[in-house]
Amino acid sequence: MLGLINAVDFVLTVWIWVIIAHAVLSYFGSPRYGTMFYDISVLLDRLTQPVLAPIRRVLPMTGPFDFSPLVAIVLLEVIERLLAYIFI
């Protein structure tokens, strides 16, 4: 059981870091097609969209600022702590 908890904790932590990396890369604009940064950007976008897209539909538009990564990180941290509280 402890191994499963550690695995879920690891996956959630990695997902949080992927969201952070996606948010940081988004500040540098769209990379050119065919570059390594383009491939990384596409990969990060595909990994984060299942979490960020539903949040973006619910959050109101705030001009040029996208708060969905922040909300996603907070929600993932809450889920992580709730699971730790329930199973430990």
For 65, the 3-state DSSP assignment is strand
User: Rounded distance, CA 41 to CA 2, Å?
Assistant: 34
pLDDT of residue 70: 95
Locate the domains of the chain by residue range. 2-87
Q: 30-41, pLDDT tens digit by residue?
A: 778 888 888 888
| Structure-model confidence comparison of residues 28 and 1, the more confident one | 28
Residue whose C-alpha is closest to residue 41's, from 25, 52, 55, 56: 25
This model's pTM is above 0.75? yes
